[in-house]
Amino acid sequence: MLEDLHWIDGATQAFLDSLVESLPAARVLLLVNYRPEYQHGWGGKTYYSQLRVDPLPPDTAEGMLETLLGSDAALVPLKRLLIDRTHGNPFFLEETVRSLVESHAVTGTPGDYRLAAALPALQIPATVQAVLAARIDRLPAEDKRLLQVASVVGKDVPIPVLRAVADLPEPDLQRALGRLQAAEFVYETRLFPDPEYTFRHALTLEVAYGSLLHERRRELHARIVDAIERLYPERLPEHATRLAHHAFRGEVWGKALTYLKQQSEMAASRSSLDAVLGSAESAGALFWSGEHVRAIEVGQRDLAVAADFRGFGMGIVAMCRLGQAYHALGDYERAAAFFLRVVSSLQGDLERERFGMAGLSSVFARAWLGWCLAERGDFSEGVARGAEGVAIAEAADHAYSRGLATWGLGTLHLVRGNLEEAIPVLEQGLVVLRMADMPPLFPFVATPLGVAYALTGQIHDGLRLLEQGLRQAGAMNLQAHHALRLTWHGEALVLAGQLDRAGQQATDALALAGRLGERGSQAYAERLIGEIAMRREPADIRGGIDAFRRALALATELGMRPLAARCRVDLGAAHLRAGARFDAETELTAAVETLRELQMAHWLARAETLAATIR
């Protein structure tokens, strides 16, 4: 039996996932419980059953209150009010009754209480957090301070650590603990080898922790690091996760780095691809195989697990993977929000930490953030973030991170159409990858460089790189963004005059993007289909206009301003060929305005040339 899986750490989660897979071959009944925010991948197993513990129905809640309060007829309106206010949540009911007892709103003994005030005069908080906050505020000052200190130590509170930071004489400490236990804020869970208490409920910890000022929390976290180091000098590795958390929260940066490294160092008898992505059911691996919705589910689960203050590194990785998956689905705003959270969380020396990832997490986030911002037309911020990533990677002299950084910045320049800037950056990335032999990154760097070559007239070199990138992606079963890689290959084939092959790539790209839910890639594929239709002999003008409109609608919906402007240029050209000069002028005027605003000179030149023919 495993309880409270919402508190689980990453290593235990990996063990549990493995155990679940092996259950059909064993005579084992595995029982687990967890709060609703915990996520797992076992729901489809035929040997898994879930029993929900729902809020109490009214008759059951009445029975519970009968036990807690008693059967006095004058209490009936109060019971109805409590059931209505708490919606049958048993924890909320218990805490509210305790609050009424402590505030002397009811008097008597458990199971035999009487109202001490008129019902309208009773103040019943609207949330369980408010009830807990009120109960904590009513504690004697010494007890309240001790509960707050314990909340900083964590859900499980070893008494030697609490004693070291509580600044209370031993007799006072024991008496205060006794009172907190009697009030059912905490309870004793272990006597040997060291006594240990735990919070009765996670919400109690959260409310007590939140009642402390930031500076006081920081000071206590730093003192807890010193206390653990002093108390357990021979057992520091087993406390690495807790030490890393407290050092980070205490802003003891040097120690935070030391313990984060210990936390991240894993036995790495894994393939290079596994080292990049994680296990087969990790968010990184699911993204890689194109299962973006499942990647989000796993990423959210990992983020929830990390939120218990014991998994800072796990939370960083989860946010990186969530950003990747949302980017793939075309939700660039949400993806950017996750990457920005990573960037803001990793400052100073933490910028050089990997947290188990193949590259520096701070560089990874900036590279992907740059691409997100580019698709939305936020080029100035994207370039700044990308340049930061390059500088961090170069300062750390970390080859994989340099490859990531150059890919992100180069792809941004490609989206903008600044090919003369994209090519040298991506070429640098390709050299780094080849020198360091890093196959997983090759398709990411080779394909945008290939289409950049093709767009500048180096069609042979571009096709060669694109085809190498496609083969490498296929060999590694890299499905994520493969539709976009096919589209880029199709664009190069169009420039080479190979319209039939280009059409097949565009059709395949559209189908794959639809199957994987990659709506941004779908918009790019629709634009390519329109371009191919317009280049046919004779041109399929109606087919081209329809495809451009579909691409424009998707790009507009997703906030992809650069692509939307390019689609308007294409629509303007198509309307001109159809003789619809008013429609052509409308589209080209809008396109020129956006392209000028975004400083997309490569595409602007064509738009202005076409617009000039109308005047």
pLDDT tens digits for range 372-421: 999 999 999 999 999 999 999 999 888 899 999 999 999 999 999 999 99
Task: Evaluate if residue 265 carries a pLDDT over 50.
Answer: no
Phi/psi at 186 (5° precision): -135, 165
pLDDT band of residue 266 (cuts 50, 70, 90) is: very low
Of 447, 410, 453, 448, give the one whose Cα is nearest residue 428.
Answer: 410
Q: Could you tell me what percent of the chain has a pLDDT over 70?
A: 94
C-alpha of 120 from chain center: 46
Could you tell me which residue, 575 or 235, shows the higher pLDDT? 575
What is the structure's pLDDT at 269?
A: 32
pTM exceeding the 0.85 threshold for the entire prediction: no
What is the structure's pLDDT at 303?
A: 84
pLDDT digits (tens, 9 = 90+) for 43-54: 778 888 988 887
Task: Evaluate if residue 371 carries a pLDDT over 80.
Answer: yes
Lowest mean pLDDT among 368-382, 425-439, 459-473, 483-497: 425-439
Task: Evaluate if residue 123 carries a pLDDT over 80.
Answer: no
DSSP character string of 123-190: ---SSHHHHHHHHHHHS-HHHHHHHHHHHHH-SEEEHHHHHHHH---HHHHHHHHHHHHHTTSEEEEE
C-alpha of 9 from chain center: 17
- Taking residue 136's Cβ as centre, other Cβ atoms within 10 Å add up to 19
3-state secondary structure of 358: coil
Task: Evaluate if residue 270 carries a pLDDT over 50.
Answer: no
pLDDT digits (tens, 9 = 90+) for 507-520: 999 999 999 999 99
Please give the average per-residue pLDDT across 204-216, as a whole number: 91
CA distances to 86, 153, 281, 390, 490 from 495, rounded to whole Å, are 67, 64, 40, 32, 9
Q: Could you tell me what percent of the chain has a pLDDT over 90?
A: 60
Yes or no: say if 562 and 526 are a contact pair by the CB < 8 Å rule: no
What is the structure's pLDDT at 267?
A: 31
Task: Evaluate if residue 599 carries a pLDDT over 90.
Answer: yes
Question: Mean pLDDT of all residues in the chain?
Answer: 89
| C-alpha–C-alpha distance, residues 170 and 473, integer Å | 64
Lowest mean pLDDT among 92-96, 142-146, 370-374, 460-464: 92-96
Q: What are the residues whose beta carbons fall under 8 Å from the beta carbon of 492, sequence distance 6 or more?
A: 450, 451, 454, 459, 462, 463, 466
What is the structure's pLDDT at 235?
A: 81
For residue 561 the two structure tokens come to 């301003």
Task: Evaluate if residue 275 carries a pLDDT over 80.
Answer: no
- Taking residue 266's Cβ as centre, other Cβ atoms within 10 Å add up to 11
Task: Evaluate if residue 35 carries a pLDDT over 50.
Answer: yes
DSSP character string of 44-56: T-TT------PPP
What is the structure's pLDDT at 336?
A: 96
pLDDT band of residue 127 (cuts 50, 70, 90) is: confident
| C-alpha–C-alpha distance, residues 515 and 329, integer Å | 11
For residue 301 the two structure tokens come to 């689960």
Strand partners, 429: none
Task: Evaluate if residue 286 carries a pLDDT over 70.
Answer: yes
Task: Evaluate if residue 193 carries a pLDDT over 90.
Answer: no
Yes or no: say if 83 and 62 are a contact pair by the CB < 8 Å rule: yes
